[in-house]
Chains A and B, each alone.
Chain A
């Protein structure tokens, strides 16, 4: 029983991350579905001493990057989609959701991934390095840039080329 159940237990977190990463519920669930299928295909290659979670996020990362490459660089987002997760929220929440979603799309993908895996998924720096197959030093520099950028964007300086001002 173990393999499927263990993977199923991770679905809510994969969905949360995919939602934040893609900004759209339907795109996010497609990505989760592809990730689960790939994971079950490759289950036998999973090295068991490693944690399941970073492995799943690494599969999702690869699929997401491949998908974006294939579909050129269309940035999804129209207002209907932005309103999707807001339905049950209060008005203040709605603004908060909307601001954050917009701000995240203004981060380069590599920074957004690192920020979400650490800030939202609470993975360790080492796990993120493993999931994204980058050195831990790169994780740290992306995290630093992502945090500076997010702050600037939320503060209203939304120019994508914005340079992060060191305090």
Chain B
């Protein structure tokens, strides 16, 4: 009974919970103890068996009665409605403002459409539970490569770790002049931000920060180089300004 390897170690090994430092030690010990090796294999087979039988529950549609207090689904609906309303408002505004844009493509108007589109994209995807992004941050290199290729310029999602936001991932969206990218970030309290990046922005030489409040969403937006950027979130103007400044500094570095 003076084995250096305990029963607990074997379970931890079977469950992939063993400290890396012990891994080789346990493996070496198991190589010399075939009967315990069989036992570990049995335990793993049991776990696999549980997954085979019960994982299908994960794919079943969740019964409506389980969506907490139904408020949750109402919340989602409210935001989808808001997004659609914005799109419609945009169409109407676009009709009335058409003449002006043609006459003299005013930076303010171009920028307004940037903030509005960013806010709509924010409202649509932030509530998503299962598919908030197309490509997750776990494949960041792929994400960056893909979006850069589609937007035709090198793109780099800013790092917001120092202020507690981690990259969730990104997606490609249709914009009015080609494709746009959206990066999503989330903090420990599941609050989400989105950064909307639009290429081919008219370079007006005006890189000022602008702020818009669109249906409860604060959007800070600016044009820099050939990109228009818009950061959207709902943590309040002050906080969003701080975050937007951070993003701006990284993009211009």
| A joins B in a complex | yes
Q: Return 21 A-B CB contacts under 8 Å, by A number.
A: A1-B192, A3-B190, A4-B69, A5-B190, A7-B68, A8-B68, A8-B129, A12-B60, A16-B54, A33-B65, A36-B68, A37-B68, A40-B69, A96-B52, A101-B53, A120-B54, A125-B17, A147-B11, A151-B42, A167-B36, A167-B39
Residues of chain B within 8 A (CB-CB) of A151 are: 42, 46
Closest to B128 in A: A5
Smallest beta-carbon distance B73→chain A, Å:
9
Check: B209 CB closer than 8 A to any chain A CB. no
B49-89 with Cβ < 8 A to chain A: 49-60, 62-63, 65-69, 71-72, 75
Tell me whether A12 and B57 are in contact in the complex, defined as CB-CB below 8 angstroms, given that A1-B126, A29-B63 are known contacts: yes
Are the CB atoms of B75 and A4 closer together than 8 Å? yes
Q: Which 7 A-B pairs have the closest CB atoms?
A: A2-B190, A119-B47, A16-B57, A4-B72, A120-B50, A12-B58, A6-B190
Check: A59 CB closer than 8 A to any chain B CB. no
Are the CB atoms of B53 and A97 closer together than 8 Å? yes
A40-63 with Cβ < 8 A to chain B: 40, 48
Smallest beta-carbon distance B169→chain A, Å:
15
Are the CB atoms of B49 and A100 closer together than 8 Å? yes
Residues of chain A within 8 A (CB-CB) of B58 are: 12-13, 15-16
Are the CB atoms of B129 and A9 closer together than 8 Å? yes
Residue with the highest number of chain B CB atoms closer than 10 Å, among A5, A48, A147:
A5
Are the CB atoms of B7 and A15 closer together than 8 Å? no
- Cα A11 to Cα B57 with chains together (Å): 10
Residues of chain B within 8 A (CB-CB) of A93 are: 52
Check: A24 CB closer than 8 A to any chain B CB. no
Smallest beta-carbon distance B77→chain A, Å:
13
Binding site for B on A (CB under 8 A): 1-9, 11-13, 15-16, 19-20, 29, 32-33, 36-37, 39-40, 48, 85, 88, 93, 96-97, 100-101, 115-116, 118-120, 122, 124-125, 140, 143-144, 147, 150-151, 167
Count, A-B residue pairs, CB within 8 A? 113
Residues of chain B within 8 A (CB-CB) of A101 are: 53
Which residue of the partner chain, among A1, A48, A140, contacts B11 with CB atoms under 8 Å? Answer: A140
Are the CB atoms of A96 and B127 closer together than 8 Å? no
- Cα A13 to Cα B42 with chains together (Å): 24
Smallest beta-carbon distance B11→chain A, Å:
6
Smallest beta-carbon distance B220→chain A, Å:
20
Residues of chain A within 8 A (CB-CB) of B15 are: 118-119, 122, 125
Residues of chain A within 8 A (CB-CB) of B191 are: 1-2
Tell me whether A124 and B43 are in contact in the complex, defined as CB-CB below 8 angstroms, given that A2-B191, A5-B190, A144-B11 are known contacts: no
Are the CB atoms of A85 and B56 closer together than 8 Å? yes
Residue with the highest number of chain B CB atoms closer than 10 Å, among A4, A7, A37, A124:
A4
Check: B188 CB closer than 8 A to any chain A CB. yes
Check: B8 CB closer than 8 A to any chain A CB. yes
Residues of chain A within 8 A (CB-CB) of B130 are: 9
Residue with the highest number of chain A CB atoms closer than 10 Å, among B8, B55, B58, B59:
B8
Check: B35 CB closer than 8 A to any chain A CB. yes
Check: B189 CB closer than 8 A to any chain A CB. yes
Are the CB atoms of A12 and B62 closer together than 8 Å? yes
- Cα A37 to Cα B192 with chains together (Å): 24
